[in-house]
Every structure is written in C-alpha cells, then in structure tokens.
Structure 1
Amino acid sequence: MKLQITHETTYNYDAPILGLIQSLRLTPSDYEGQRVGGWKIAVTGGHRGGTFRDGAGDLIEAWTVRGPISEVTVAIRGLVETRDTAGVLRGHRETVHPLVYLRDTVATAPDAALRDLAGSVQGEDGLDLAHRLSAAVSDAIRYNPGVTETWTTAAEALALGEGVCQDHAHALIACARARGLPARYVSGYLHSSIDGTPHDAAHAWAEIHTGPLGWVGFDAANRCCPDDRYVRLGSGFDAGDAAPISGVTLGQGNESLDVRVAVEEMDQ
C-alpha cells in the first residue's frame, strides 16, 4: 500500500516566547515492512541542527527556533510504501538489546491488578502468550476517547476500564514485562480501522519480543497486529520516551496545541 502522510503540529503562545529547542523523532525507518520516499520536515523559522540514529534505530533531528515568536508549526509530508508482515519487525537496524525493554517506567509500572491480568492467561510459547495478553488487555480496557489524559498510567487506565491507544499500549507493555517478555511503545500512523473507517490521527501500539521471531507488533486498541495500514515512526519505553516531538520552550507564554493528521492511500 502506498500511503501519503501529512502531519502538522502547531504551537500557539498567548505571549511571545524567546525561542524553543526541539528533538524530532518524525522520520520513519526503512525495513521489510515499509519503504520511505520523499519525506520532508519543515519547522516555521526553524534551523536544523544535529541528526543521528539512536540505538533503537530511530532517526533523531534537533531543531531550534529563535524568537520572539507566537506560533510555530512542525509540518511533515511524505510517502511510505507498506507491506503486511503480520506484525513481525524484520530488517530493522538497531543495536539495543531486547532485554533492556524489561525496565518499567512510571507509565508502565504494573500494580496488583495489572499483574493479576498478566497472570490470567497462559501461552504455549512467547508468541502465543503475547497474543493472549493483547486480547486480555483489549477485553479489560474499552476504547473510549477523552476519558484519559496524556499522563494517565497503565494502572489507572485498567482501573478505569476505558482509554485510548496509548492506554492499551501502556497496559500491554506492563503485562508483557510482568511475564518476562521485553516490550516497548511504538508511535506511528494508521490509515484506517479494519472496517475501513479513516483514522485521521497519530496512533500507537506495542511491540513484544517473543523469542526467536523477534519483535512483533500488537495493537490492542484494534485487536490486531499491525499490517500494511500502519506506518511505524519510532519506539521507546513508553509514550513519553517515544514521543515524536519533545523539547524545551524559552519564555513564559502559555502553550496551546493543534494537531492535524491525514493518511491517504495513493494510486499504485
């Protein structure tokens, strides 16, 4: 599938700020399931700094914007050709050992309820267990936008019984790690749901290291493994670590945010 991605993030400030420094994880990597072409990042008034690929294989770019400024837009536009690999991440170059992803974070730390959920299923091997854990999380947390916040933890989302893709990913990561399976958070895009409904927003899911097969993606929010409708941007221990945009603002202005995402299928 050929997908055109348009992603604009606009920051507005009620008082001009002196400037900002951003770290962008906004360029997809090439691997067996996707090939990237014509990818472009533009930052209003921005100056591109150093660029490097981290140990997880993600391309990181540093950008600075000098003020005074009241509005900044980070705009991405590009093409990605995707192929269904049943969620298996093949050919992705990275140097971090999978066992590193057994480390808990504040967002993914398992409480007693998460440990009980993780222990409620059994699998014949790592892959089967990962599938069953994903299904258990899907059953335990109903998809319902607007009921959780950016800082909601996996334990809080499970207690609430509702959440969004970030909450499903965090809960699945917590359960997998509780069962000794390395797991990480993945940020990206989704063209449409299984029934064909367009998905005009950024998306997130989890990857679990299942053993000999390596990393496999699981989208508990949609009860599936990522296929050719998905574009993988980057990964981390949790949503904060895998954030496509992070940075520091210099000044006292209060910030508001507007995000627009379009994922369109192009003619083959």
Structure 2
Amino acid sequence: MRADIRHITEYRYAEPAWDSFNEVRLSPEVSARQDLRSFHLAVRPEPSLVSTHRDYFGSLIHHVHVHEPHQVLRIEAQALVITRPLPGLETVPFSALDELRGEVTEFLVSSPRVPSGRWPEVFGVRAPQPHEDLSAFMVALTTQLHRQFTYHPGATSVSTTLEQFARDLRGVCQDYTHAMLGICRTLGIPARYVSGYLYSGGEMIGADATHAWVEVLIPGQGWVGFDPTNDMLAGEKHIKIGHGRDYPDVSPVRGTYYGGGGEASLNVEVRVYGDPPARQE
C-alpha cells in the first residue's frame, strides 16, 4: 500500500518564546514490511540547528533548535511510505517463549508507564497453558480488550496512569496499548509499544492522530503487531514510526523552551492519504 502522510504540530505561546529545543520522532522506520521513499521536515521559524541520531531502539530522531523569539512554532513532517502485506499467523505453543525470554528482558519487565501489577487479573484475562497456541491467544486477547474498553477521546491524557485507566476502562489507543503491554509482560510474553499512523479510509479508529499498538515476539515469526483499538492484526494500513517500552520512549514531539508566558497551546493535525490494499478474495 502507498501512504502519503502529513503531520503538523503547532505550539502557540501567549508571549514570545525563545531557545526552543525539540526532539522529533516522526520519520517512519525502514523494515521488511515497509519502505520509506521520502521524508521531509519543515520547521517555522527557521531553526538555527537541526541534527539527527538514532535512539536506543533504532528510531531516527531529529533535534530542532529555534533560537529566535516566536509565538508560534510549527513542525510539519511529510512522508511517503510503501507497506507490504504480512504472512498469516502460525500455530506456536506458549512454551516456545521459554527459549527467547532471556534475549528481550527489556520488553518483559516493568517500565515507567507500565508498572508491575496483577494486570491479567485486573482486566479479567486468564493465563494460557504451556501447550496453548500463543498466536490464537493473542488474537483472542486483542478482541477481548477491544470489547472491554470504550474509545473515548478526552477521557484520558498522555499522563493518565494505567491504574487510572483500569478503573474506568475509557480512553484512547495509548491506554489500550499500555493495558495490553501490562497483561502480556505479566504473563511472560515479550511486548513493546509501537507508535505510527493508520490509514483508515473512515473505517477505523485512531486515524486522526498518531496511532499506537502492540508488537509481540512470536517464536519463528518475529515481532507481530496487534491493534486492540481496532480488533485486528497490524497490517498494511499500519505505518510504523518506531517502538519502545511505552509511550515516553516514542512520543512524537517533546521539548523545552524559555519564555512563552506559561503553558503553550497545542494543535496536532494528521492526514494519511493512500491507495488502500487490494481486498483478498
């Protein structure tokens, strides 16, 4: 599938700000399932410095420094991505994970936004038996959480804890993903947070901003994406930016500034245009 992406982040300040330093994670990754044909980052006012590096997890980060006084900071990213279909899931016993857990400890232990807890019990998820099919378990878990949670923008914020979400079960893709991560890691299933985009065509949830889903390590198949917000595997319509332990590892734009007269107002606009994948007969 071909996807043209336009992502605009705009900060407005009550008074002029200066020395604005921003860390931007908006460049889609290059992998076996997707090609990045082009990426362009435009910043207004003109930055005095733009540099790049890859973080611990391999995501490309742009560091943007705007030195001159400004009351509006606009960061626009444009990308052209080609995604490919993934093979179907294979039957894999849960016990097959035993040989892999030592290689991916960072995606099994607690993280700042996914603390240790009795998350399977909290969300009513039973632990699979060693002989059970891990792939089938993950598909069923994706469906269970999709039905159990209510998508409600505004019910939570980027600072909402997993404990708070567990009380109300209302939130957005970030909350769904943190909950699924907590369940998987508690059960010994390596799982990581994915940030990206979603080509919707008006039929899926979460296409009006950056989207989030879970990748689970399935022996013999690698990291496989599951999207509990839309009750589906992450396929051609999911465009990945990067992954980490939880949201702060892959937040799209974050930074600091001097001045500004208090907290800045934020507006984000995301548009994904594309040629949808052909229907499978």
Instruction: State the TM bucket, normalised to the shorter chain.
Output: 0.7 to 0.9
- SS in structure 1 at match of 2:69: strand
Contact 1:87 1:226 in 2 (8 A): no
Structure 2 residue aligned with 1:92: none
Structure 2 residue aligned with 1:104: 110
> 1:203-218 residue pairs with structure 2 within 5 A?
203-218=211-226
The worse-fitting range, judged by mean Cα deviation, of 133-142 and 233-242 is 133-142
Contact 1:122 1:132 in 2 (8 A): no
- SS in structure 2 at match of 1:157: helix
The worse-fitting range, judged by mean Cα deviation, of 51-60 and 79-88 is 79-88
- SS in structure 2 at match of 1:175: helix
> 1:121-136 residue pairs with structure 2 within 5 A?
121-122=127-128, 124-136=132-144
Does the alignment pair 1:202 with 2:210? yes
CA offset digits 1:71-123 (Å, max 9, x no partner): 111101121111121598xxxxxxxx522112312321244454443652526
Q: Which amino acid aligns with 1:98?
A: V
Percent same amino acid among aligned pairs?
A: 31
- SS in structure 1 at match of 2:247: coil
Does the alignment pair 1:264 with 2:273? yes
Contact 1:218 1:226 in 2 (8 A): yes
- SS in structure 2 at match of 1:81: strand
Distance 1:197 1:172 in 2: 17
Q: CA RMSD in A?
A: 2.4
Structure 1 residue aligned with 2:94: none
Contact 1:169 1:206 in 2 (8 A): yes
Distance 1:101 1:263 in 2: 29
Structure 2, unpaired ranges of 5+: 90-102
Deviation at 1:56, TM superposition (A): 1.8
Deviation at 1:213, TM superposition (A): 1.9
Contact 2:14 2:264 in 1 (8 A): yes
Distance 1:110 1:87 in 2: 32
The worse-fitting range, judged by mean Cα deviation, of 166-175 and 196-205 is 196-205
- The two structures have a TM-score, normalised by structure 1, of 0.88
Structure having the higher Rg: 2
Does the alignment pair 1:188 with 2:196? yes
Deviation at 1:200, TM superposition (A): 2.7
- The two structures have a TM-score, normalised by structure 2, of 0.84
Change (3 A) 1:42 1:73: same
The worse-fitting range, judged by mean Cα deviation, of 110-119 and 223-232 is 110-119
